[in-house]
Structure 1
């Protein structure tokens, strides 16, 4: 048996996991783009809240990074183009008038139109491209390899005021907060009434932090290996599907629900995740802790679910086969992995080790054992 962990492990500069990471330069560029968008929209929306959106006073929007960049599972595209990195950047509007359990109905379309017009101006300045996004977000293509998606939210103004007041108290007590962004992790959870604007001019109830909270709880439970495996599985999806396949959220939830930690063995952890996914992806994927209405996060149709299950089984079998080659056939193990993950699996036999029974014992996660009951006896 072979240990393939080092082919994946991030600390090794040419390992698969390291190659999946966005580079420091890419991150720096996307942060600068995100900040330009934030500053431009902050000024523009604030100036238009009375004249364009019909509010009774000027208000300042807030912004928040969401999605894969917030829980560290963004990966380099496997097929570039057309695949791209994406940054999910939520725009939050404090609404002064709240009617019928939501903002004024007409405001949704006005809000969407205002933000698109403001972004057109910025895109012209920066040589970016405003592209047709989803019904629930606006997309800005900031590079040939990346775009920023902007979902538009609204929440009651009084909730923002309460959170900002709380932030000021924390600052006064010496608890550091980003002075430019008062709404930090624990403070965002105070927002319990959030509506999402759509391009069609509708408001939909939303909890954009639900998935992030749930996944961070799973990371606290299982450790960083869970995030590593989610990145590997997203890269596997991108290698086999150019623009479809299971969504990132679907993969993340399915993997997390039955994750089995394998200390020091990412290869075994991926194999176990693929085994579970092969079954789970055939059915609806729901998580009550994220959505008590039990939304189905598996958007694939029946044919797509069957194909995804087949590919997940192939992944599990390829990982198992790769591990079973003898120590003299390391090249065969690498070939097995490249068939399911692509050429980014390093062609470096020095990263493959022999798996011994002692290794298996050391890499088995410790489990708490119930103390045996000792029955009292009497010698005679």
Structure 2
């Protein structure tokens, strides 16, 4: 005998784990309003700074692109407050004219552009009561005032000659509207014309980086697996945020692991988020112990940047969740309470104890895999990676 636990996770607009991890509307509105205020300010402040400081009047206005969890619609409500916060990744794209044909990065110092963002943001932050902090690849704007959220501002440089080809086009797909409408009033930018994109880093280096590749990759996987993939990714991120106060496997690692596992699935999990999550969890411990790469993003980049020790910790915690998920699904009809308690240990109290939506499933095909080798003593979770909500 087995249980159908799917409605604990998702059942449309009815109370479920998914509705419990939805961002609070007021916090989401405050974050969006702050993002728009920042964008409007930077549209004028950046060209003015370039003219006054570098003596170079930009030929094109800076462009802005929503990236990260808001582009994929995988943002969750923070689980542990503090220190967890919602974040909005607003990429700033700047045309750079001093770029030789044979160069792989602009001539201007990356540190100059990185510092520029902080400098032009300082007056607005003071006015709004925000706090500016420096991260290796962005300036972070912490909103304060009771809003557990921040806006990250990475700055990218692209060849000046490419900017005339970036044209505003009417979104032709739901995904495009969801990903970019926030920044372009339902008229997203066509970004494919950018031949080079370099990210300005705090240490003064330029890194080749195209966030659009992740958006394209996730879109292709969602077209294959539907909305269930997005939900599975959100469940995994919620698990991480319950187990780690900060750090843990990065969001992109969890997303890639989930998509690749579902790609290999020999069956369809339509209508059964519990089985889909179980299938993904059965593979996750092994994935977290190894390099995680995705050819559509960058075949040469290992996305799993955890240290060897932290990889073992993450894999062990994932295996504990895997075991609990399998055991909960294999529980009997009189073991609903125990099944919910087992899952709440890994997902927290946001998983509702709604026993009425649990039913018997005599057709469920639950598969288990051998445990991850090594001791199963729970290792305290510490900061191990990034944590994007």
Q: Verify same fold: TM over 0.5.
A: yes
Aligned 1:368-379 pairs, distance under 5 A: none
1:180 Cα deviation after fit: 7.6
Cα distance in 2 between the residues matched to 1:30 and 1:180: 13
Cα distance in 1 between the residues matched to 2:229 and 2:334: 31
Cα distance in 2 between the residues matched to 1:123 and 1:353: 52
Match in the other structure for 2:377: none
- Unaligned regions of 5+ residues in structure 2, if any? 172-176, 367-389
Q: What is the TM-score normalised by the length of structure 1?
A: 0.86
Q: What is the TM-score normalised by the length of structure 2?
A: 0.84
Larger radius of gyration: 1
Aligned 1:141-290 pairs, distance under 5 A: 141-143=142-144, 144-164=147-167, 167=168, 181=184, 187-259=190-262, 260=265, 261-290=268-297
1:10 Cα deviation after fit: 4.8
Correspondence 1:347 to 2:358? no
Say which of 291, 295, 304 aligns to 2:310.
Answer: 304
Cα distance in 2 between the residues matched to 1:77 and 1:56: 42
Match in the other structure for 2:26: 25
Contact 2:96 2:157 in 1 (8 A): yes
Cα distance in 2 between the residues matched to 1:204 and 1:314: 37
Aligned 1:120-131 pairs, distance under 5 A: 120-131=122-133
SS across alignment from 1:262: coil
Aligned 1:13-162 pairs, distance under 5 A: 13-57=14-58, 59-99=60-100, 100-106=103-109, 108-132=110-134, 134-143=135-144, 144-162=147-165
1:201 Cα deviation after fit: 2.2
Aligned length: 350
Match in the other structure for 1:375: none
1:345 Cα deviation after fit: 0.8
Match in the other structure for 1:315: 321
Cα distance in 2 between the residues matched to 1:138 and 1:270: 35
Instruction: String of CA shifts for 1:44-65, please: whole Å, max 9, x gaps.
Output: 0111222223425454111010
Against the structure 1 CA distance between its residues 343 and 275, is the aligned structure 2 distance closer, same or farther, given a 3 Å change threshold?
Answer: same
Higher relative contact order (CA 8 A, sep 6+): 2
Contact 1:246 1:308 in 2 (8 A): yes
Cα distance in 2 between the residues matched to 1:180 and 1:335: 42
Cα distance in 2 between the residues matched to 1:182 and 1:355: 46
Cα distance in 2 between the residues matched to 1:37 and 1:226: 32
Q: Hey, which bits of structure 1, 4+ residues long, moved more than 6 A?
A: 176-180
